[in-house]
Structure 1
């Protein structure tokens, strides 16, 4: 990788000896190239001539020829970066610098590591130059985000992390996941902690965008927080971004759910001493769980991405939850002709975030009011509000629905001229329907690229917002 030394004259990190030894080993034994080509690239070499020679060796190998001083003679004589070293004669010198091919993996590791260091130095220099700039149109936050993106690119890119796989390698990866699922008799990937839901989802892969949608008062925020809590309680750090509710409001809901004490009772001081002891006892449990809450009113996807990168480096987060998609703001400086285009960019940004960090993202979404006009108010994919791109970008779409909510608000009243017995029959049937769905939350998996679709039923206790696997028909 060409690198201009800093003004203080310090030599950038490099090992010309390791570069010469590796090139000499490849020229002596072409099989060496196949063993190390995935771990070092042409721009990893500090000497530009060495990098150019490595790129030519790769081209020769791709043609099925053998890279030797003979096959590379014309190239070496014509390459300006090798001219000063002696051209074709330098190839013989390189062969002489290789004592054994046994250490070639170590040579490749040293070359790649020094290249990594030089890239970090380059990012630091660029950051310093940008920070010294008096261009007020580029904010400090934008400079920071650019540097963080560059650092993450350095960390994720490079040899050995190629996105190109032979089909047999891809099959091996898939079979590993299948074998793991077979051995543990459970889905692989991130699990929600709700067995029926996990069986439907088949686990959440580390680059997936999951849309969790529902009408108001269905409990989607409660489910999102419960998922984050259960994931964190199982040992995977979770990062919760709430653009609608502050950290104190989320904390109140968490305390209410975990202590099983109604939120209204807590806020109005209507707790018995015994119940309040349960509230105090959950403090220790919270301290041990790697769950982080971000205060982010009016935040943009770019700002979430910047924070999430830091959280990934510092805490190794394995889940990002965003509540909710439609309330996010557009990245500063971007313009959209309408709200649909804006939501499209936000949705695509969240999907890109999941792929970039290889961390699943659960994003909450509103549904259109068209749901309320139907007799069966269970959501459909067409109800996703403001953008078909949400459905397109999502790997999984999950709806939250509670029949209890609607039945509670539609208790029959006597009709004009209706007999008393007929009304009592209608009222009894309504009560029977309501009893069957009391405390039941339906979690409808409507789209799933890596699993099945269907409905999981969970126990939902509205006063505490507590959600549990539905293992009995009793109510609280």
Structure 2
């Protein structure tokens, strides 16, 4: 076997093609990074070229259409080989990793070929000046190949913009994901921007998880959502969601007997919620890479929610670094994840006790300083604040809704400002608020809009 053959991981190449066959959603990412000539096997190259041709025609990409298209292009492949690729590919969720292995092998092979060429030229008594000149040209070409998919030309930049506009104008796609809260969406300019990183921050117990669950379920009414919970088990999340639908306190759902009527209400709510494309993690410790793999396994995913930032495990390479260093790395990885998947990532963030040392305890952007570069990386920062959170114990009735201030403190693509919602602690329900001309009202008199 030639040395260059040893540098080539055939399983990675086949897994890239297998991922395309499993889901054409990964084709744009492959197209950005790899060219047809990067595939060493003739059959893999033919399948990739057929997939690109089908994409340009707007046709569906699946094993049947690939078989037909390769035959039309004079490069037929066997049905058995296509089935083999789909069988040996572990998951399309890891296509980014497969792509990087292929890119690495292409560059290694190119360098070995270049080294062989230099050696042959020198031994063949070619003028050293000519050898260096040709070597420099070859290195430039190899470096350009290494940057393939990493640089966008001016034409590509505006092509991407107009593709997005075409999708929006045709109704095929939106540039944002609505939170489901009208006042907050208006502040955001419509909703959370695709590829955007958003923070939902507050003190512990203020209602972050409840707000995030409400947003996630509203999005899940039409599109798949991944809710990564690093604090609560599935049964606890389910209890909070059922509580919102039934009005039965989540504490009772988890710890106390229920009446026949309550069981009936719970069954009805659980049946309705179980139809929503709302996915959670079943592993208690995850890195950002783990979140990415979970996300890539969900077709049509429109939102990732992570509860919460402080519980995300650092990558192995950063575990010996200081807290600031690895939180900065996690923050950057979350932003990269949003950009790669082109969907919003909403991350819950817990503020420290210094907030409570101030007379005005409303959160400020400076309260995020312990989270590395999170504020800098975020496209939007949303703070939650409730006055009754700081009221004397036993003076607040958890069965009555209270005002929650929702403050958009940072918005990279629009204005900032505040709105109010009604928070019902016992039932985990957060709703819009309708006010009369007199302004604020006692909690018991709040008029709620929607559910």
**What's the TM-score once normalised by structure 1's chain length?**
0.60
For the pair shown, which has the larger CA radius of gyration, 1 or 2? 1
Q: Which residue in 1 is equivalent to 2:97? A: 150
CA contact (8 A) 2:243 2:250 kept: yes
Deviation digits for residues 362-408 of structure 1, max 9, x if unmatched? 11111121110111111011101523400011111111111121134
User: In 1, distance between residues paired with 2:101 and 2:432?
Assistant: 43
Q: Which residue in 2 is equivalent to 1:346? A: 330
1:219 to 191, 203, 207: 207
Deviation digits for residues 350-371 of structure 1, max 9, x if unmatched? 1111112222211111112111
1:287 to 274, 290, 299: 274
SS at match of 1:386: helix
Give the deviation of 1:177 after TM superposition: 7.9
Residues 173 and 364 (structure 1), Cα distance of their counterparts in 2 relative to 1, 3 Å cut: same
Give the deviation of 1:275 after TM superposition: 3.6
CA contact (8 A) 1:368 1:385 kept: no
CA contact (8 A) 1:243 1:295 kept: no
Unmatched 5+ residue regions in structure 1? 14-36, 52-105, 128-142, 412-430
CA contact (8 A) 1:256 1:464 kept: yes
SS at match of 1:295: coil
**What's the TM-score once normalised by structure 2's chain length?**
0.63
1:208 to 174, 191, 196: 196
Q: Which residue in 2 is equivalent to 1:459? A: 422
Q: Which moved more, 1:168-177 or 1:270-279?
A: 168-177
Residues 352 and 269 (structure 1), Cα distance of their counterparts in 2 relative to 1, 3 Å cut: same
Residues 205 and 158 (structure 1), Cα distance of their counterparts in 2 relative to 1, 3 Å cut: farther
Deviation digits for residues 5-29 of structure 1, max 9, x if unmatched? 9x9xxxx99xxxxxxxxxxxxxxxx
Matched ranges for 1:13-412 at <5 A: 41=35, 43=37, 148-151=95-98, 163-166=152-155, 169=159, 172=162, 188-202=175-189, 203-233=191-221, 235-269=222-256, 271-309=258-296, 311-312=297-298, 315-384=299-368, 386-409=370-393
SS at match of 2:406: strand
Give the deviation of 1:440 after TM superposition: 1.3
User: In 2, distance between residues paired with 1:111 and 1:395?
Assistant: 48
Residues 45 and 158 (structure 1), Cα distance of their counterparts in 2 relative to 1, 3 Å cut: farther
Residues 145 and 42 (structure 1), Cα distance of their counterparts in 2 relative to 1, 3 Å cut: closer
Alpha-carbon RMSD across the aligned residues, in angstroms, is 4.8
Residues 441 and 176 (structure 1), Cα distance of their counterparts in 2 relative to 1, 3 Å cut: farther
Deviation digits for residues 31-88 of structure 1, max 9, x if unmatched? xxxxxx999957368799xx9xxxxxxxxxxxxxxxxxxxxxxxxxxxxxxxxxxxxx
Unmatched 5+ residue regions in structure 2? 15-30, 46-68, 103-145, 436-440
Give the deviation of 1:159 after TM superposition: 9.7
SS at match of 2:193: coil
Give the deviation of 1:158 after TM superposition: 12
User: In 2, distance between residues paired with 1:343 and 1:393?
Assistant: 12
Q: Which residue in 1 is equivalent to 2:432? A: 469
CA contact (8 A) 1:212 1:363 kept: yes
CA contact (8 A) 1:40 1:111 kept: no
